[in-house]
Chain A
Amino acid sequence: MTDLIIAQAFNGLVLGMIYVLLAMGLSIVWGMMDIINFAHGLFFAIGAYLAFTVASWSGSFLVCLLAVPLATALIGMLLEVTLLRRLYGQNILYQILMTYGIAIAGRELIIMIYGPVGKSFDQPELLTGVIPIAGIFFPIYRVFVFGLTALLTFGMWFVIEKTRWGSIIRAGTENLKMVSCLGINISRVFTLTFGVAMAIAGLSGVLAAPMRGIEPFMGDLILGICFATVVIGGMGSFAGAVAGGLIVGLSQSMVTLVMPSASVIIIFMVMAAILLIRPRGLMGIRD
């Protein structure tokens, strides 16, 4: 029984790390550019589908891991330059509506290209199988995902806390006007930030694909969960995204053990509870 709980907790941790990556991007974009990006889930789906294409074409998962985030970053930056840029500083309503429109159109495009039926995505051969640790068997692929996402999260933390670009992001989340008064080219920072957020979203799509398969509506489902994660962690907070993602992933996998049907509802219940106790989220820095 304890073995089962530990194994399931590990699954939750891996799932949680995927949420962490997604919530991080959502939260940075939201905090800095004040855009609730409804197309975030779309980029998760695009990542998974591109991985499907690239994998069947090159046969290598490593190529997916490198090429797909680059592609989603480029698509994201293109969107930012052509569409989103026109809406900065305006009523948030318009940004919501536009990104929502993009999300719908993108999903339909995916269905047009790949068809409405989901596809299965084989685990990369090198990473199949299990490794026993202290008598419990862990799937190698999940261990790999956990390691990679942890590394990436650490990398993001380092970038945000220790580099110049990171300090611009943090300052921009606090007070955007002041940052641009200091002579920093905000629009270039925005493009880059959006690109990085979309790269991470695409990468989490790649990583999630072998675990859950791919289908056109995967972005819609994950988007709701990510919003809840950001609300739990608090907007614009890096630590909040990490805490929120892990809480969501763990509570989801633990509830699956007891009552599988409630595994998604629990996320929103946790969210509601945290909101009642602490309305700004666990580590939110502002409203």
Chain B
Amino acid sequence: MPTCTEPAWLNRWWLSHRLLILLAGLFAVFPFVLPYTALANEIMLFALAAVAFDLCLGYGGVMMFCQASFFGVAVYATALTLLHLTSNLFAAIAMGVLAASLLALVVGFLATQRSGSYSVLLTLAFAEMIYFIAFQWSGLTGGDNGLTGIKRPNLEIPGLFSVSLQSSLAYYFFSFVFFIAAFYTIRRITLSPFGKVLMAVRENEQRAQAIGYDTRRYKMAVFVIGGFFMGLAGSLYCMYICFAHIHYVHFEVSGNIVMMVLTGGMGTLFGPVIGAFIIVLASDVASALWDRWMLIMGAMFVFFVLFARGGLWGLFEKLMRVRLRNR
């Protein structure tokens, strides 16, 4: 007779969701413990982008260097929607996500025609193309000056209700809902049969083909899903910062997102969140202290590649395993 009084389903639910709940709990208190809310928001939105990229890299084995394109195109699309079309919050998000997903479809289609390093190079070349287009087409994107005068809309359904999102705390919790929902969805994708096929493709593409999977279509799907969520991050980011700038499609943003996944630990989903926390916080602190802090960033890349491939999450897991063994 088990002594446990709680129903079994609750126990199971707790076991499979405890990390997610922990994550939600942590992010719920972040704006109150971090020096300012904007920092918490920045961490959360980059964590979303990093987790989306972890789905691509850690599960699908798809490496790319155009994260900034998906993120930045969503920033521009949201900004342009708000400036020229409508002030509807959800329309703006939808436009951003749609633009990013469409771009991901095109880039994914072209990049998956090749494999390995060639494919990575293609994503990079397209990222450069997007950057220069955004730079030169200043009539649309504002070029180096960026797009200003974006007003953050309120959460409202006309005639029913309206919630102001103008305070940064209110907006933080608005994007918090999206973040947790997106994280949950991405986690479900990795646990689904589709996710298992992705991992099979990552482990051995030829064998997955031999079983009969059209691996190229799976990789394209990874691009689109990744682009979708990076686009979501970009859209929310645009309305948080009320500004669209060429910097967000620059290669450096891609590099940062890759760095978050690498420091956190790829293929873990929770790791990249830690990575985003560390990178955003570190760049915020370090950039105030020392202009050349990127030097440390570069050295960190080399360090993690050489000595800590599993990232911090991997180190943490290793530590736990050692403790369990010694017990």
Main secondary structure of the interface of B (DSSP, over half): helix
B122 interface neighbour in A30, A86, A100, A231, Cβ under 8 Å: A231
Residue-by-residue, is B112-123 near A (CB-CB < 8 Å gives 1, otherwise 0)?
011111101110
Name the residue in A228, A230, A262 with the highest tally of chain B Cβ atoms < 10 Å from its Cβ.
A228
- Interface bracket on B: 35 or more
Q: Give chain B residues whose Cβ lies under 8 Å from the Cβ of A185.
A: none
A224→B124 contact, CB < 8 A: yes
A100→B255 contact, CB < 8 A: yes
Answer whether A104 and B305 are a contact pair too, CB < 8 Å, given A228-B128, A231-B125, A265-B129. no
Q: Which of A164-172, A207-215, A267-275 is near enough to bind chain B?
A: A267-275
Q: How many positions in chain A have a CB within 8 Å of any CB in the partner chain?
A: 44
A276–B110 alpha-carbon span in the complex (Å): 8
B295→A93 contact, CB < 8 A: no
B132 contacts partner chain A, Cβ-Cβ < 8 Å: yes
Return the chain A residue nearest B116 by Cβ: A92
Interface of chain B residues 285 through 309 with chain A (CB within 8 A): 292, 294-295, 297-302, 304-306, 309
B258 contacts partner chain A, Cβ-Cβ < 8 Å: yes
Answer whether A272 and B120 are a contact pair too, CB < 8 Å, given A103-B298, A104-B297, A108-B298. no
A137 contacts partner chain B, Cβ-Cβ < 8 Å: no
Name the residue in B57, B258, B298 with the highest tally of chain A Cβ atoms < 10 Å from its Cβ.
B298
B133 contacts partner chain A, Cβ-Cβ < 8 Å: yes
Residue-by-residue, is B135-173 near A (CB-CB < 8 Å gives 1, otherwise 0)?
010000000000000000000000000000000000000
Interface of chain A residues 100 through 114 with chain B (CB within 8 A): 100-109, 111-112
A220 contacts partner chain B, Cβ-Cβ < 8 Å: yes
Q: Closest 10 CB pairs between A and B?
A: A101-B301, A105-B298, A104-B298, A268-B129, A108-B295, A224-B128, A101-B298, A101-B302, A98-B305, A264-B132
Question: Can you list 9 A-B contacts with CB-CB less than 8 angstroms, sorted by A residue number?
Answer: A30-B117, A34-B116, A105-B298, A224-B124, A264-B136, A265-B136, A268-B126, A272-B126, A287-B118
Given contacts A96-B117, A101-B302, A224-B124, 11 further A-B contacts (CB under 8 A): A34-B116, A86-B306, A93-B63, A96-B65, A98-B302, A104-B298, A105-B299, A105-B302, A108-B298, A220-B251, A272-B129
> What is A's interface to B at a CB cutoff of 8 Å?
30, 34, 36, 83, 86-87, 92-94, 96-98, 100-109, 111-112, 220, 224, 227-228, 230-231, 235, 261-262, 264-265, 268-269, 271-272, 275-276, 279-280, 287
